[in-house]
Chains A and B, each alone.
Chain A
Amino acid sequence: DSGVTQTPKHLITATGQRVTLRCSPRSGDLSVYWYQQSLDQGLQFLIHYYNGEERAKGNILERFSAQQFPDLHSELNLSSLELGDSALYFCASSPWDSANSPLHFGNGTRLTVT
Chain B
Amino acid sequence: AQSVAQPEDQVNVAEGNPLTVKCTYSVSGNPYLFWYVQYPNRGLQFLLKYITGDNLVKGSYGFEAEFNKSQTSFHLKKPSALVSDSALYFCAVRALTTSGTYKYIFGTGTRLKVLA
| A residues apposed to B, CB below 8 Å | 2, 4, 33, 35, 42-43, 45, 48, 55-56, 58, 90, 92, 97-100, 102-108
Question: Number of contacts between A and B (CB, 8 Å)?
Answer: 66
27 contacts between A and B (CB under 8 A): A33-B103, A35-B106, A42-B109, A43-B44, A43-B90, A43-B109, A45-B103, A56-B97, A56-B99, A56-B101, A56-B102, A92-B43, A97-B102, A98-B102, A99-B102, A99-B103, A99-B104, A102-B34, A102-B49, A103-B36, A103-B44, A103-B92, A105-B45, A107-B42, A108-B41, A108-B42, A108-B43
Taking the nearest CB of chain B, how far is it from the CB of A11, in angstroms?
15
Taking the nearest CB of chain B, how far is it from the CB of A102, in angstroms?
4
**Does A103 lie within 8 Å of B104, measured CB to CB?**
yes
Chain B, residues 80-113, CB within 8 Å of chain A (1/0): the string is 0000000000101011010101111111110000
Determine the distance from Cα of A105 to Cα of B41 in the docked complex, in whole angstroms.
12
**Does B45 lie within 8 Å of A2, measured CB to CB?**
yes
Q: Which of A4, A55, A99, A107 contacts B41 (CB 8 A)?
A: A107
Residues in chain A near residue B36, CB distance under 8 A = 103, 105
Max chain A CB contacts within 10 Å: which of B51, B92, B94, B104?
B104
Taking the nearest CB of chain A, how far is it from the CB of B12, in angstroms?
20
**Does B101 lie within 8 Å of A42, measured CB to CB?**
no
Query: Beyond A42-B107, A42-B109, is A105–B43 a contact (Cβ under 8 Å)?
Result: yes
Q: Which of B94, B101, B107 contacts A55 (CB 8 A)?
A: B101
